[in-house]
Amino acid sequence: MDTLRLRQATAADHAGTEDSVPLMSPTLTREQYVDVLRRFYRIVRAWDAWADQHAPEDLRAMVAERRRASLLADDLKTMGESAPPTEDDVPNGPMTATAVAGDPRAVFLGRMYVMEGSTLGGQLLARHVEQQLGLQPGLGDSYFAGYGDHTGQRWREFKSLLEALPEDDADTVIASAKNMFTLFGDSMRTSIAPKEIVAAS
């Protein structure tokens, strides 16, 4: 499928989600940053759980090595927030209930497009947060470092999976990506209490 079409079709959704993440604010405080980490944790943990259940068989190894909720749990601990080791999980019901119809692989890759795409701009966010809050690189902002030096390569690998899809799946991928942008944005706009944070496996 044409990934340029996907990017153009979801540009407004992408922009709306970015607007819900206030990390580039010149007045960002430690408290605001921790609150953002909590909200990221909720949606990323839910994504990890959903992806574990719905990843196509040939993508399971790749998905497993790209799980990133544990980085957010580490960042929260570094910032002084506890992540209690409880069996209670962050609910992923909304993610399951609102999945779009269509070929399962196309639905999955549409959602993963949003999660993988978020790694590309994360390093810029990390540098700003470090400067604003006086953090050391990788201590309290490891999630936003993406995959480090491998970020570009891993994005290209993922993009090749999209390009391998037939054009007939494009509408499903676009709808699924839009759905994921909505879920991400809704999560970022909804407060979360510290007690909802759980250990990521």
Encode 80-119: b = buried (16+ Cβ within 10 Å), e = exposed.
Answer: ebebeeeeeebebeebeeebbeeeebbbbbbbbbbbbbbb
pLDDT for the residue numbered 196? 47
Q: Which fold has domain 3-18+28-196?
A: Heme Oxygenase; Chain A (1.20.910)
pLDDT for the residue numbered 110? 98
pLDDT for the residue numbered 190? 80
pLDDT for the residue numbered 51? 94
**Of the candidates 153, 160, 136, 131, which has an alpha carbon nearest to the alpha carbon of residue 66?**
153
The residue extents of the domains of the chain are 3-18+28-196
Round to whole Å and give the CA distance between 76 and 55.
27
Q: What is the mean pLDDT, run by run of 10 residues, along the chain of 201 residues?
A: 98 94 92 91 89 96 95 93 50 64 96 96 92 96 94 97 98 97 88 52 42
